[in-house]
Structure formats: C-alpha cells, structure tokens
Homo-oligomer: A and B are copies of this chain.
Amino acid sequence: MKIYFACSIRGGRDNATTYAELASYIKTKSTLLTEIFADGKLTPDGMNKPSNDIWTTDIAWVKESDAIIAEVSNPSLGVGYEIAKAEEWDKPVLALFRDDGSRKLSAMIDGSPYTTTIYYTTLDEAKSAIDTFISTLT
C-alpha cells in the first residue's frame, strides 16, 4: 500500500511537528511516498529544486500512490491542487482538518463528494482516522 502524504510546504510550516508525527505514523502502516514532507526541519522555501522538477516528482508520486492523506489545517495551493489530481485519478482521499475554531476549511475540500474529510482536535483522533481510512483500502 503506497500512501502520498500532502501537507503545506511553501504555504507555511506552522504545524510542522504535527505533519512529521502524522507522516511517521502513516509510515508504520504503509509505504510513505513523501518521506521528505515529514521532515520537521523543512522550511517554507521548500526543497531547493526548480518548481517544475518538484511538480514532476510530486505528480508522479500522486499517480503512483494507492491513496492520499492530506493535512488541510493550513491553506495551501499545493495541497488543494494535489487533492484534485488524486480525485481525477480516482485515488481515495482523506483530508484531516484540525478544528480549533480559528478557521473554516475550504468548501472545495469540505464539500467535495470525492474526498473524505475528518475534523480532529487531538493527534490520537487523527491517527484513528488514518487507521479507519487505511482499513477501507485493503
């Protein structure tokens, strides 16, 4: 089972610790295609590669994946884009939104019939949603 984990990079790394923890957790359950995204030290500059190289690599990973898990608590053009690509290629998508009341999730994600959105408040809730999602894939 190959999972593409998507999280905000250039949009901001406010929740880098959460991202790293979720990515590590997914890695215990499946092949994680986006190990670099789990690196808590990644800065908003993202990787030091040209944008078109990053696009080519990441899009190939989305295509290769069996499913996508996206952390969507922060606004991110890239994560929104990847979710739509995953839908285009009929990949199951789980979107995890930390609901602290400060922000409303985009209606394009929250309202999509092709993406399963789960609101969480604790990491344990997010991990439990990942367990449930992965169990539906096998």
Listed in ascending order, the chain A residues whose CB lies under 8 Å from chain B are 8-12, 44-46, 49-56, 58, 72, 74-85, 88, 103-113
- Identify 8 residue pairs between A and B in the complex whose beta-carbon atoms are under 8 Å apart, listed by A's number: A11-B75, A55-B108, A72-B77, A78-B80, A78-B108, A80-B84, A82-B84, A84-B88
Q: How many copies does the complex hold?
A: 2
Q: What would 19 more interface pairs be, CB under 8 Å, given A77-B109, A80-B81?
A: A8-B75, A11-B106, A44-B104, A46-B104, A46-B107, A51-B105, A52-B111, A53-B111, A54-B107, A55-B107, A55-B112, A55-B113, A58-B108, A72-B77, A75-B77, A78-B80, A81-B106, A83-B84, A84-B85
**How far, in whole Å, are A34 and B96 apart by their CA atoms in the complex?**
28
